[in-house]
Chains A and B, each alone.
Chain A
Amino acid sequence: MIVGLLVALLLAGVVSLWASASPDGLNRVAGDLGFAGAEQASGAQDGPLAGYEVAGIDSRWSGGVAGVIGCLVVLACTSALMLLRKRSTPRTVGGE
């Protein structure tokens, strides 16, 4: 379990620096077929982590730091959700 977590952090924090910067399948098709222009800026565009860059960090590690933060947020949210699911099993009194 710990090993898996370390692998995930390593992938998001370090390996992601070498990820392909080419447009992904959907963006490429949108560009080729001429509906890419319909894209509107997300309301989260000005957030401190928007675009997988940490505001204030300019080095190439910015994306890695953003990735690690993202991993921890996802881990925390999912774990909280799982805890809620477990608590509402029939074993406990009450629940939904």
Chain B
Amino acid sequence: MHVPDGFLDAPTSLATAGVAAAGIAIALRGARREVDDRIAPLAGLVATFVFATQMLNFPVAGGTSGHLMGGALAAVLVGPYTGLLCLTVVLAVQSLLFADGGITALGTNVVLMGVVTVVAGYVAFRGVQLVLPRRLSMVAPAAAIGALVSVVLSAATFVGLYAVGGAVPIPLDTLLTAMVGVHTLIGVGEAVITFLVVASIVSVRPDLVHGARRVLDVRTLETRVAA
């Protein structure tokens, strides 16, 4: 969903750049608490994986394709602050080196595919985790639901931005229906990929998964009580 230059007017792009910068500043502060010797190499890997996976457009209905955004995945794996930093690096490299997503639209893309997917994905993930039983096997399903929510909200946020500063006047309800419709399908793909990646890492190294820590803490406590 990389927004090219020209879809949104200059004031809107400037505003989203400001929001993106604020988000990155908050993430840089917050990441200090998340990044330790284990998370640091994992963050590099997560960013690389998100970049690679974003090249893999999968077909959805009717000659349209979509690709992983990765915000929810990154947030669950390395934490939301570090996750946003990972996504920011990916989006900046795509924009500057590969001309994928505009340069004046970079702030917009960091907001849509970074801030919104990370925050929405992580909040939904945590919310689902509260409801589901605290088991390791529930981490991946919760991440998958977070992934679906993140993509749909990202698409809806684009419509909101377009309502403010869209280049060509078009009926917004039509735009909202079209964007949310197609991105619900893409969101299902995002959920499947996120589920598979999180499930496979949780099965091998649950201690590396940020979103599994609370579950692991509980498990340790239970073991001690039983002993």
Contacts and interface: CB of A to CB of B under 8 A. Distances in A.
Interface in A26-78: 26, 28-30, 32-35, 37-45, 47, 49-52, 63, 66-67, 70-71, 73-75, 77-78
Interface-centre pick from B46, B85, B92, B99 (highest chain A CB count, 10 A)? B99
Majority secondary structure, A binding face: helix
Contacts of A88: 32
A43 B131 CA distance: 47
Contact of A86 (B28, B36, B47, B90): B36
Contact of B48 (A40, A51, A52, A78): A78
Contacts of A9: 52
Contacts of A28: 63-64, 182
A26 B158 contact: yes
Contact of B59 (A4, A22, A41, A73): A22
Interface stretch (B142-150, B165-173, B211-219): B165-173
Nearest to A25: B182
A20 B57 contact: yes
B41 A51 contact: no
Contacts, number: 204
Given A16-B56, A19-B57, A70-B98, A8 B103 contact: no
A93 interface: no
Interface string A2-16: 001101110110011
B41 A52 contact: no
A13 B36 CA distance: 30
Contacts of A78: 43-44, 46-48, 85-86, 89
A20 B43 contact: no
Given A1-B41, A74-B93, A81-B89, A22 B64 contact: yes
Given A25-B186, A38-B168, A85 B31 contact: yes
B32 A89 contact: yes
A7 B193 CA distance: 14
Contacts of A35: 7, 166-168, 170
A4 B43 CA distance: 12
Contacts of B41: 1, 79, 82
Contact of A47 (B35, B46, B49, B97): B97
Interface in B31-90: 31-32, 35-37, 39-49, 51-53, 55-60, 63-67, 82, 85-86, 89-90
Nearest to A48: B97
Nearest to B37: A86
Contacts of A5: 45, 48
A82 B179 contact: no
B2 interface: yes
7 nearest interchain CB pairs?
A38-B167, A40-B6, A12-B52, A20-B65, A50-B99, A35-B168, A82-B40
Given A22-B63, A25-B66, 5 more contacts: A26-B1, A35-B166, A43-B103, A78-B86, A85-B35
